[in-house]
Structure 1
Amino acid sequence: MSNTSDISALRREYVAAGLHRRDMLADPLAQFRGWMDAALEAHPDDATSMTLATADAQGWPAARIVLLKRFDTEGFCWFTDFRSDKGQQLAQNPKAELMFYWRGLERQVRIRGRVEQLPYRDGETYFHLRPRGSQLSAAASDQSQAIDHRVTLEQRVQDLDQAHAGEEIPCPETWGGYRLIPHQIEFWQGRENRLHDRFRYTLVDGDWQLERLQP
């Protein structure tokens, strides 16, 4: 018996209504906000999950799921450990892409742009909004680094909790936020027979230009 799993015959059909140019707002952020609101209503637990794709100085790509924590006219923000793989890659190559996929709505959004660190106070403010357990985990973990055993990590968390019993957990200087400043945003709507609708906004000389892409 072959160990190869052939999944080429798997199919799913997309049945959502179409996406027309007249539906697309002039401002892609406003367009994104409308789609995000619909996703939050349909699947609130997963709506803010996004794939963050980065690449290091040698061009090796890496992707992982992170959570969008805010977005506005300045960009799309998330929080993490600066020492993590993604933090190191962004230090070497401060360009990235975000991707949202909302299966129930048959929609996808890709956002590409330059990335910058948020001010420390932004990270500190958000850090202290998190549950204490999440604060302890973030402060005790040297994210992405090898460790001998989970027990070691759990002991670090316990020691840190005891050291700050009855006190606020200090936000590490190695933990905080990033902002992706978009220069390209693509909206994808699944359609029947894979004839999907795709519209891409590109920032040119300060203005957003919109074009339809072939599927």
Structure 2
Amino acid sequence: MKVVSPAFEILTPIDGIEILKTIEAVGRTCYKSEDKITDDSCVNFVQGIINRGHEAVIEHYNITVRLTNDRGVSHEEVRHRIASYAQESTRYCNYAKDKFGNEITYIDIRGGMELDPKVSKLDVAIQSQIYDEWVDACLDAEKHYNKMISLGATPQIARSVLNNSTKTEICITMNIREWRHFFDLRCSPAAHPQMREIAIMLLKAFKTMIPVVFDDLYKKYVTDAKTE
């Protein structure tokens, strides 16, 4: 059994200013105001687009990321309809083979426990007991998975005993407008704690790499929520 933290990798090369310039070039078509484009006009133009809610313009740029999180979280990620997905398949990946270290990899639940408004307030000793129960359940699932494989079961049959904490990698491509929608839903305190964990991590990266576009969401869910 292996336990890892959630993680992400941004696969699309990101040049924040060039993204804004592309959006500006598209957006100014609506007003035929291309003559107002300067070296730095894109920042204020895109800020205005966001402020006015004219977000159809920012659909003209896609970003692809690879997220490493648990399968429970991935079921929520794929509910975003304006997106494309490619996900690690438990039907074909045989985790009992050397390629996967002959073990199941699980996403650590500690981060989710810290963001859960009820669990985070429990006594530390109780939290430790909860975590130990999770570890025991994961070890048990791994044992039965490996046994089923050794008996001749295919991965698509053996996967039935795996739990929601099983690590998965999922590549997601969305346009910038849908990424804003993603963050607005998935960084919210109403979202699942482990969904929030990975979403806030990614929002911080997007905000750092792309000027203006994610500033309001960063302020709403990171600065104001004091998640840093």
Scaled by the length of structure 2, the TM-score of the pair is 0.27
Query: Which has the bigger relative contact order, CA under 8 A and spacing at least 6?
Result: 2
TM-score, normalised on structure 1? 0.28
More strand per residue: 1 or 2? 1
User: Of Structure 1 and Structure 2, which has the larger fraction of its residues in helix?
Assistant: 2
